[in-house]
Amino acid sequence: KSRVFLWNTIRRPPPAAPSGEKQSLKSRLASLSPMAAIKKRVIAKLMNPASARSHTMAHLIFDGDGIFLHKQGNRMQSSGQTFRQYSTPTAADVLLNSYRRYLDAAAKLSIERSGSNAAAESVSFIGSAYRDDMPRSVMLDRYESHTKHCSVCSAELARCEKRKGFYETAEVSFAGAGGASAVALLISLASNAVPRSIVRAAAVGTVASVLGSFGVSKRKRSTEKKIQSFLFEDYVHAEKE
């Protein structure tokens, strides 16, 4: 129903300063600063639209707005109001109002041509498209609302699921190796005839298997958490700092 839309009204970046124009000493020093270069690279990496990380960051920011807008839309519909009842006195709202008028016209045309449907109802406030009791699992369903429609996130989800399968296989392998090494170590310790080199090898194998299993399990949990971020994450405002 209600969703957050991000608009970029700048068609192209501002023109660069002419090469002959002199820069101030402060500007030249700022451009040469290592911290400025690091900040630029970090911001570019985090905000890169081709990176799934930037999409996940957007979810973290706007998930709360999605819940708020749904509740707001339900209140408006139940009282028979539309966006026109909201005061939008600033010039920054011109684009938003134009977009809402476009949605109204598109919904009206859709209903006239093909009959009522959920998308048109949610825009035109017809019927009962909004449900105030909609579970959070539906309102915050990232897979249905974003991931399956996004080539960047769906590709990253597939890579994470493949990585998770690898970690599961490695986990089983380390568990088997650790068990075998532990049994060999116990047998070696129980027998005085076994050379000390074999005892040391069994001990090293046991420790290595335990550490490897711990490391793989940690990576697996991290990957599962990342997979969940493409499917669903609850949003509780009281828990946000």
DSSP 29-88: HHHH-HHHHHHHHHHHHHT-TTSHHHHHHHHHHHHHHHHHHHHHHHHHHHTT--GGGS--
| Residues 164, 227: Cα–Cα separation, whole Å | 9
> For residue 122, what are the contacts with CB-CB under 8 A and spacing of at least 6?
1, 2, 73, 129, 130
| DSSP one-letter code for 10 | -
Place of tokens 């069994």: 202
For the chain, give the number of residues: 241
Q: Which two tokens stand for residue 215?
A: 């490391």
Mean pLDDT, consecutive 10-residue stretches, the chain (241 aa), reads 44 53 60 64 68 83 77 76 68 76 80 69 58 76 88 92 94 88 79 75 85 92 93 76 58
Query: What's the sign of the alpha-carbon dihedral 104, 106, 110, 113?
Result: positive
Structure confidence at residue 241 (pLDDT): 58
| pTM, to two decimals | 0.62
CA distance 69 to 1: 8
Q: Is 20 helix (H, G, I), strand (E, B) or coil?
A: coil
3-state secondary structure 180-234: HHHHHHHHHHHCCCCCHHHHHHHHHHHHHHHHHHHHHHHHHHHHHHHHHHCCECC
Burial-class residue 7 by CB neighbours within 10 Å (0-12, 13-18, 19+): exposed
Asked if residues 203 and 187 have their Cβ atoms less than 8 Å apart, the reply is no
Amino acid identity for residue 214 in this structure: F
Residue 206 CA to chain centroid, in angstroms?
A: 38
- Asked if 99 contacts 5 with a C-beta cutoff of 8 angstroms, the reply is yes
In three-state secondary structure terms, 14 is coil
The residues near 226 (Cβ < 8 Å, ≥ 6 apart) are: 160
Token pair recorded at residue 32: 């040469």
